[in-house]
Each structure stands twice: as C-alpha cells, then as structure tokens.
Amino acid sequence: MRITYYRVGGHLLQIQYKDEGNDESLIPSFRPFVLEGPGEGEQPLFTLTVDDSLEEEKNLDEIGQFDGSGNNYGVYQHPDGGYQILISNPRGELCGVLRSDKTFRHNVVALKDVGMQNRAFALNNSLMMAYAFSACDKQTVLLHASVIRKDGYGYLMTAPSGTGKSTHTYLWYKNIPGCDLMNDDNPVVRIVDGRPVIFGTPWSGKTPCYRNIQAPVGALVRIQQRPRNEIRRMRPVEALAQLLPAASSMKWDERIYLNVCDTLTQIIASVGVYELGCLPDAEAAWLCYNTVKAED
C-alpha cells in the first residue's frame, strides 16, 4: 500500500492507495503541501484510503446534501453514526463513494471508472470533505472565499458563487500595489494562539492558486452587487449569519455545526467583518481596502 503525507493549514493528512493505478498524480494541487513523513509521535488529522473495491450501500436513507464546489453530494448515515457520501460530477455521473466514521478521522473512497478526470474530481472532493469535517473541532474552518494578501495580512472576500468575489480580489491585485492572491475558493482559517490565521490550500476552484502560505486575517468582507460602492461593518450576530453559509458544514451533524459556529464566533470577535455593496471597479477596491485597513 502506497502512503503519502501532506500538511494543510498546519494539520497532517495521510492518504493510502490500495490499488495500482491510483496515486498522487490524481491530485497535483497537493504537491506544494507534500511531506516526507510525520514528525515524531505525530498523528494525522485523518487518514483516507483509496480502495476501489468499496461498494455503495443501497439501503441507507439520504439525510441531506453537501454543497461541494457547486455540486450537491448525497449524504447518507450509517447506524453507527458514520457517513456514506456519493460524489457526482456536474453532469450527474457518480464519480466516487466516500465512507467515513462519524468524526471523519477514518475514511475510505472508491473511485468509479468514469475517466481519470472524474476519478481525480472524486478524490479531491473526498479530501476536502474529510478535512473540513475532521478539523472542525480543531478551531479550523474551510471557507468559500477568495483571499488577497496585502502588507502581510489576508483579506477574505465571501459571496455566493458568481457574485464577484474573485473579480473584487482581482481589482485589489490590479489597482493596489503590493497585493498577491493567496487562494481563490477554499482557504482554511484557523485560530492560532487566539488569533485567526489564513492558510492557502490545495482547493482553489477554477483558479489554480495552490500556495502553501499563511497570514494573519486582516478582515472578512461579504460582497453584494449594487449600483454604487458602499461599505459598513456588521454587528457580530449579523456577521455570524452571513459567514455561516460560506463555511463547510453539515447542519444536521451537531458536532460539526456547533464547532463551526464556535470557530466563526472566535474569528468575528478578533477581526472586523464588513458588508461591501459594490460595482466591479477600482473605486470599490480602494474603498474596501482603505476601510478595512483603517480599522485593522
């Protein structure tokens, strides 16, 4: 069995390949995060075994759906509290079957024979879900956001898909000197020594930005399209309501949901969360930057 190790958001991940033909070439976005092995006595956040002999169980009831990169994956629960998640591509073809225990510490995925691209899709998304749900009790959240770095701080732009968060971070990059993109879809935010820190990840949507870097969080900004540019700081309760949809979670799983809420509450208590109504122009980028930087 081939074993590979990675470190993402400060957490150790272990992937095991049981079958020949499955290996790390399926997940090239993980290359910047590869490790030779764990530290002495270090235990992985989770293990994921790729075993194509795993069969889908047909007698389970669907309890919900997880939104993964714009695709809804069917979630089924076993009597022991563990999960089966069916991963399908945008065309609705089944690409993988993920079997996890109730803490997502131990996971097995079968990749279906529907082409290498779809097999890679299933493995990558299995890893993303295993990470988000096993790390939830480690003051760690995976957020649907685009992140721009400026003066050593990471600024997260959140919004529903297609609203313009990537456009806004590009406007920072294009117009504000000294900016660089940290991640464009699924960064990790983790509380480290009482302070929220942003980490690049192997998951970055359609933009290939897989950077093994980190920075303290400067602010979070919820973006809305409007006919004029305006920004305001949100109250904590309002901020939590706006950020929850951006966090990878499963509301029917009390352990996951409460831990995500707790971590978001700590983030909101430490940094500003803003609502930006904007046009896709340079003025919006400067307004946002000057406001969140002035109150940083």
E strand spans, 143-229: 145-150, 153-158, 179-183, 188-192, 195-199, 214-225
Q: For 10-34, what is the mean pLDDT?
A: 95
Residue 244: burial class (beta carbons within 10 Å; 0-12, 13-18, 19+): middle
Average pLDDT for the chain: 94
0.75 surpassed by pTM: yes
Pick the residue with more confidence: 35 or 114? 35
The class (CATH top level) of 140-294 is alpha beta
- Helix count and strand count (H, E) for the chain: 5, 18
- 3-state class (DSSP) for residue 106: strand
Is residue 294's pLDDT more than 60?
no
Q: Where are the domains of the chain?
A: 2-134, 140-294
Q: What share of the chain is helix, strand, coil (3-state, %, to 5)?
A: 30, 35, 35
Q: Is residue 70 within 8 Å of residue 51, measured between CB atoms?
A: no
Q: What pLDDT shows up at residue 69?
A: 61
Q: Which run of H or of E encompasses 274? A: strand 272-278
